[in-house]
Amino acid sequence: MRSASSLAPGAEHKPPDERRSARLGAHLFTLAFLAAWWGYSLTVPRYVLPGPVDVALRLVQFFTTYNLYKQAFASLAHIIAGMAASLLVGGALALAAYYLPVLRLAVHGRISPFLNSFSGIGWTLLSIVWFGINEFTIVFAIAVVLTPFAIINLREGLETLDRELLEMAASFTRNRWREFTKIVLPGLMPFVFATLRVSFGVSWKVALAAELFGGRTGLGYLFNLAQQNFDIRLILVVVVVIILFVYGTDRFVFAPLQARWSRPDAGFAS
């Protein structure tokens, strides 16, 4: 029996016949897309658009060639580091604005709008000038673009906390750390996972651009090589790899963890 977390959002509430119809429609759409791709590839040269079979064979070659698939894990390492940094910085700023009202205008009225409006490409170019072409440049560009997502989501989470529950906790203990870990942090977990799931998809776009301009490793670096060599198959393979990473991580990592930590009995440090 499939668990609810393995279904699409809201699918567990639909009748079985409707779920089967939805899956059938999705599969038919995928087949129609592949057929249209294959048909159009027959009308243009291979260097313009290779067919699905050519791309599938290149994908197999990608995962059987160490120097190629290690670039995917290099991008993943950049993204994990950037997401961790953005969550720490964004979380610290959101909490500072929550517990220190004097900082709210600075954080939510100045820092967050500025970071949210600045272009990811702009941060990439600036970080290349500031730090040179290295791994830190990529991680910095990812982190600074993702930070406003953390600030905004965690701010919303803090504003939705149950005030009566907080007042009751304050009346039972003076240990603010215990209050934070038992009341505030569990209330923030849905917003933390929302931040992670949104940031993970956005981070691949940022990482690709940062690695394209300022990296010597990663899928963006492969993109650059493929563009120079007119290797359209490799470009499409990189796109497929990113889709697999984003979909697989969201479904098999973030969704189960969110279901686990969102349970009422989920424990936190005392």
The most distant pair of C-alpha atoms in the chain lies apart, rounded to whole Å, by 74
- Do the domain assignments include residue 242? yes
- Do the domain assignments include residue 48? no
Answer whether 150's CB lies under 8 Å from 91's CB: yes
Judge whether residue 205 has pLDDT over 80: yes
| Residue 179 burial (CB count, 10 A) | 17
For residue 160, what is the domain's CATH number? 1.10.3720.10
Cα–Cα dist 139/123, whole Å: 11
Cα–Cα dist 125/210, whole Å: 8
Task: Please name the helix (run of DSSP H) or strand (run of DSSP E) that holds residue 30, with its range, or none.
Answer: helix 16-41
Give the pLDDT confidence score for residue 270 in this predicted structure: 45
* H helices present in 64-179, as ranges: 66-99, 104-106, 112-117, 120-131, 135-159, 163-172, 176-179
- Do the domain assignments include residue 36? no
One DSSP character per residue, 204-255 reads HHHHHHHHHHH-SSSHHHHHHHHHHTT-HHHHHHHHHHHHHHHHHHIIIIIH
Judge whether residue 266 has pLDDT over 60: no
Size of the chain, expressed as the number of residues it contains: 270
Q: What angle do CA 33, 256, 186 make, to 5 degrees?
A: 130
What average pLDDT does range 185-205 have in this prediction?
Answer: 89
- Do the domain assignments include residue 180? yes
- Do the domain assignments include residue 33? no
Give the pLDDT confidence score for residue 11 in this predicted structure: 52
Answer whether 191's CB lies under 8 Å from 154's CB: yes
Answer whether 172's CB lies under 8 Å from 183's CB: no
Task: Please name the helix (run of DSSP H) or strand (run of DSSP E) that holds residue 2, with its range, or none.
Answer: none
Q: In this structure, is the dihedral angle defined by the CA atoms of residues 259, 262, 264 and 270, taken in order, positive or negative?
A: positive
Which residues does 140 contact at the CB level (< 8 Å), separation at least 6?
A: 82, 123, 127, 131
Cα–Cα dist 183/57, whole Å: 52
Number of structural domains the chain divides into: 1
94: its two tokens = 């959101």
- Do the domain assignments include residue 127? yes
pLDDT tens for 24-51 read 888 899 899 999 999 998 898 888 889 9
- The range of the structural domain enclosing residue 203 comes to 61-261
pLDDT tens for 133-173 read 888 999 999 999 999 999 999 999 889 887 887 777 777 77
Q: Which residue has the higher pLDDT, 186 or 215?
A: 186
Rg (CA), the chain: 22
- Do the domain assignments include residue 26? no
Q: Is the pTM of this model over 0.85?
A: no
Task: Please name the helix (run of DSSP H) or strand (run of DSSP E) that holds residue 183, with its range, or none.
Answer: none
